[in-house]
A and B are shown apart, each in its own frame.
Chain A
């Protein structure tokens, strides 16, 4: 199953390389990985999505990550209530005649048009991976010229705001 792991690391040169080298060395798959600073100076958050990872492999990943001197905290968000999002930029063929159709398609996704050219427009979409996948599928018939996706980044939810029912019903990944 897919796993989402959040890793807090010292923001030092070479740390990302250490983490990816570890995954390579141990034969763990990374589906996507995002890095960014946290609110604490000197610390960064790396969010890693791993595919096809069973419980024992996951345990190894977490233990191996903790062995890294620059890793301070590892959290497996998979089975926790979490908010997880990715951002996609999609450039679609869009002769003037089709623009209104495309606008209608993207509207329910709360995506927005952030650049308009002569023959194409660029759409920005934010959401869960499945939502982005669905939007891309709908836009494909119009001709996608270029696509950039950030991959998932995630945070644990403030548990107080989550009810048990929602946790179960939404398969542990909660979206708004």
Chain B
């Protein structure tokens, strides 16, 4: 293991060390305090992997590059630190594409290192050459192809900085194989030189005063809190602000956990499958205070009916999000934590909004998320509720995409930040298992439960090998409805029950599958055995897989049909 001295000795002539490109990468990863890398080797990254071999930084070998990048995303989501992933050129790089797009839409800090063919053959359709720069430009915050080893220190410094500041996102660094072997001086600056990248962190004081002025006069204010609250680490400030002024809080799907679900001011998740209380608040509000949400269409429904009477305040670190979907009266560009801190500095009294608050809390009490317990089959909503009860709402929950994802969002009460990992913007099936691996590696002592659909699980289940190899205490719950449930639901509701390719006619034996990976597994077939088996499953140490057969025709409600507005919810508890 090589250690390069960092001492700059003023008296004798200190000289920056001459290192190969590969060694520069390793040293930069050290400087960035990277503790784990997810990746998969191949021809173009052989020099990089040779340097990783004995460098002391942990490398987790995924079984597919998509698994590696989703694991890096899970790691980034729960730690707030950049997730690092390495893949070879060509197919290795293209296998990262879905994860890059996912991280881009959900603002997750990722540094992706890809190998590339040697500089001399770039453009010649060399073996495993692909233009990952061209492919990844629209789905990364920024990307680099390194032309010379001497650029590498500055490029890596910039990559980590760009990924993890401002609106976070994925940055890709493409390193030609011969650059990895080329020598250059290793000088790692403390701050990158990026005149074109200067995110505004501290909001304008005048905008903050405007917000307070509006709040003073508001009759029906509501807070919409998005994942920006989590990225900014502003849960504490959000809570103080809501309590100080008595303002009810609605979360986006990705924001869950930013505000405690058991708090009296919490109205639940808004949007397509949100709560009646949350959507009523968004529809009737006269002052919408958006902290770090990007007004995604699954939240707003038909824009014509979104907060029609509201003055809109939007706090976002990305100015391009402000006014993009919803006309905004008071734009506040900056970090959510800074904005809330500035807002909290006021002496202003809370507005009198008791009747508005009461109206919403009554709706909340009358129309919780609901389901009908009937027959002997397990209702998926009850499965989630039981997981919540048995884990005291304290676990990290990672989901795949589909009905089970929405039920998890509805029925698991997240009381703490960064305990919820899900693919929101891209809605990536196959995200769940590898992201859960990343979350578990990041927090080895936390209980992590992956809740995945029977279909999505099969998109990345090769990563069970990582669970087994590392003996991760991850609990995998396969919600088996024998269907691409969310697709089937839409076909039932909007395509006259023509279930085109959404019913799984053949399923693997999930228990045998787990056995093949040496992972203990259990199956739940009926409601009567749910609690006992689930309890034992969750209490066991080490990895585990639970297959739960659930009522196959269950739908996610409430729902706002595509094209409808927030006030047109169907399937609200009668």
What residues make up the interface of A, taking CB atoms closer than 8 Å to B?
A: 10, 13-14, 17-18, 21-22, 24-25, 56, 59-60, 63-64, 66-72
* Chain A residue contacts of B196, Cβ below 8 A: 10, 68-72
* Contact in complex: B137, A60 (CB < 8 Å): no
* Chain A residue contacts of B320, Cβ below 8 A: 60, 63-64, 66-67
* Contact in complex: A60, B324 (CB < 8 Å): yes
* Contact in complex: B318, A67 (CB < 8 Å): yes
Determine how close the nearest CB of chain B comes to the CB of A171; give it in whole angstroms: 27
Residue of A nearest to B147 (CB): A13
* Binary interface encoding of chain B residues 116-155 relative to chain A, with 1 for a CB under 8 A from any of its CBs, else 0: 0000000000000000011001100110010000000000
* Contact in complex: A69, B194 (CB < 8 Å): yes
* Chain B residue contacts of A72, Cβ below 8 A: 195-196
Residue of B nearest to A20 (CB): B137
* Contact in complex: A69, B162 (CB < 8 Å): yes
B506 in contact (CB, < 8 A): no
Determine how close the nearest CB of chain A comes to the CB of B158; give it in whole angstroms: 8
B323 in contact (CB, < 8 A): yes
Give the complex CA separation of A14 and B133 in angstroms.
9
Determine how close the nearest CB of chain B comes to the CB of A46; give it in whole angstroms: 13
Determine how close the nearest CB of chain A comes to the CB of B510; give it in whole angstroms: 39
Q: A13-B145, A69-B141, A72-B195 are in contact. List 14 more A-B contacts (CB 8 A).
A: A10-B196, A14-B133, A14-B145, A17-B134, A17-B137, A25-B138, A60-B320, A63-B320, A64-B320, A66-B320, A67-B318, A69-B142, A69-B196, A70-B196
B552 in contact (CB, < 8 A): no
Give the complex CA separation of A63 and B314 in angstroms.
15
* Contact in complex: B138, A21 (CB < 8 Å): yes
* Contact in complex: B142, A59 (CB < 8 Å): no
Give the complex CA separation of A24 and B134 in angstroms.
13
Residue of A nearest to B199 (CB): A67
* Chain B residue contacts of A17, Cβ below 8 A: 134, 137
Please, could you name 15 A-B residue pairs with CB atoms under 8 Å apart, sorted by A? A10-B196, A14-B133, A14-B145, A17-B137, A21-B137, A25-B138, A60-B320, A63-B320, A68-B196, A69-B141, A69-B142, A69-B194, A69-B196, A71-B196, A72-B195
**CB < 8 Å A-B pair total:** 36
Give the complex CA separation of A153 and B180 in angstroms.
41
Residue of B nearest to A65 (CB): B320
* Chain A residue contacts of B134, Cβ below 8 A: 17
Give the complex CA separation of A59 and B319 in angstroms.
10
B14 in contact (CB, < 8 A): no
Which 7 pairs across A and B sit closest by C-beta, in order of nearness? Answer: A63-B320, A69-B197, A25-B138, A69-B142, A72-B196, A21-B137, A69-B196
Residue of B nearest to A56 (CB): B323
Q: A17-B137, A21-B138 are in contact. Are A63 and B197 (CB under 8 A)?
A: no
Give the complex CA separation of A13 and B196 in angstroms.
16
Give the complex CA separation of A87 and B139 in angstroms.
36
Residue of B nearest to A12 (CB): B144
Determine how close the nearest CB of chain B comes to the CB of A19; give it in whole angstroms: 10
Give the complex CA separation of A63 and B195 in angstroms.
16
* Chain A residue contacts of B162, Cβ below 8 A: 69
* Contact in complex: B323, A59 (CB < 8 Å): yes
Determine how close the nearest CB of chain A comes to the CB of B49; give it in whole angstroms: 27
* Chain A residue contacts of B145, Cβ below 8 A: 13-14
Give the complex CA separation of A72 and B194 in angstroms.
10
Residue of B nearest to A64 (CB): B320
Give the complex CA separation of A72 and B133 in angstroms.
21
Residue of A nearest to B167 (CB): A67
Please provide the chain B residues from 308 to 344 with a CB less than 8 Å away from any CB of chain A in the complex: 318-320, 323-324
Give the complex CA separation of A56 and B328 in angstroms.
11
Give the complex CA separation of A1 and B197 in angstroms.
30
Determine how close the nearest CB of chain B comes to the CB of A7; give it in whole angstroms: 11
* Binary interface encoding of chain B residues 159-194 relative to chain A, with 1 for a CB under 8 A from any of its CBs, else 0: 000100000000000000000000000000000001
Give the complex CA separation of A10 and B137 in angstroms.
16
Give the complex CA separation of A38 and B138 in angstroms.
27
* Chain B residue contacts of A14, Cβ below 8 A: 133, 137, 145
Residue of B nearest to A10 (CB): B196
A66: which of B137, B138, B319, B324 is its contact (CB, 8 Å)? B319
* Contact in complex: B323, A18 (CB < 8 Å): no
Determine how close the nearest CB of chain A comes to the CB of B549; give it in whole angstroms: 42
Give the complex CA separation of A24 and B139 in angstroms.
13
Residue of B nearest to A61 (CB): B320
Give the complex CA separation of A64 and B138 in angstroms.
12
Give the complex CA separation of A108 and B318 in angstroms.
51
Determine how close the nearest CB of chain B comes to the CB of A58; give it in whole angstroms: 11
Give the complex CA separation of A22 and B320 in angstroms.
13
Give the complex CA separation of A67 and B194 in angstroms.
12
* Chain B residue contacts of A24, Cβ below 8 A: 138
Give the complex CA separation of A64 and B324 in angstroms.
10
* Chain A residue contacts of B142, Cβ below 8 A: 69
